Amino acid sequence: MKTIYSTGLEAVANIQDGATLMVGGFGLVGIPEQLILALVEKGVKDLTVISNNCGVDDWGLGLLLQQKQIKKIIGSYVGENKEFERQVLAGEIEVELTPQGTLAEKIRAGGAGIPAFYTPAGVGTQIAEGKEVRVFNGKEYLLEEALHADFALIRAAKADRLGNLLYNKTAQNFNPIMATAATFTITEVEEIVEVGLLDPAMIHTPSIYVQGILEAKQEKRIERLTIRQKGEGA
């Protein structure tokens, strides 16, 4: 049986200043909301965060940005976060932008024990500066190194007490690969069920990759709300 935490603060108790974290989600979909709130409350700082983006100004990883708890971001998208943009332009935070597919493969490779791989993405751009370039079949490729983290904070829909996970639709995004690429994976879930109640054929992340579980409800905010004005269209 895996460790089941009663509170978010208990779940993040071992995360200290200077830790490297992988944080799942795409925009606000599939983010570990309560674990992030616990990090804000704990006040841990100088974090290196590996995530597709950095939430929005008032939710998700944007809350850690507001409190200046993040030292460096490794991601693919600045997106909807004005505070992120401000800190980047002011030189208050280190940013390593990576093509989205490359970021996903760097994480997957880290979980698979593959130290590096070649990709055509980024050849001839600033991303290629300082990186090895090789030619295969007449085409140039960059050498990209795998990513690994001290902790992965991910979100799933269900877990059993062994730590087997099911994700809900697009909440699979970066969560499954991040679960494999960290020394310690903490999973925030909507529901914990007894062993044997999950169909083995439907499990997305096997329990071997999970060390701790927090059952917590989500607000599930909408990142960008688009509504039709009264009288527009049918």
CA distance 129 to 141: 13
Report pTM: 0.93
Class of domain 3-101+146-215 as given by CATH: alpha beta
Count CA atoms closer than 13 A to 121's CA, side-chain side. 14
**Contact in structure between 116 and 109 (CB atoms under 8 Å):** yes
Q: Give me 91's structure tokens.
A: 């030189």
Q: Give me 35's structure tokens.
A: 């674990």
CA distances from 123 to 102, 105, 184 (A): 12, 16, 34
CA distance 175 to 30: 8
Cβ neighbours of residue 102 closer than 8 Å, sequence gap 6 or more: 76, 119, 121, 122, 144
Q: Give me 105's structure tokens.
A: 């493969």
Per-residue pLDDT of the chain (234 residues; tens, 9 = 90+): 899 999 999 999 999 999 999 999 998 999 999 999 999 999 999 999 999 999 888 899 999 999 999 999 999 987 778 898 899 889 999 999 999 999 999 999 999 999 999 999 999 999 999 999 999 999 999 999 999 999 999 999 999 999 999 999 999 999 999 999 999 999 999 999 999 999 999 999 999 999 999 999 888 787 777 888 777 665
Cα angle 9, 73, 77; round to 5:
115
Domain boundaries, the chain: 3-101+146-215
CA distance 96 to 74: 5
User: What is the DSSP secondary-structure string of 79-142?
Assistant: TT-HHHHHHHHTT-SEEEE--HHHHHHHHHHHHHT--EEEESTTTTSGGGTTS-EEEETTEEEE
CA distance 131 to 226: 41
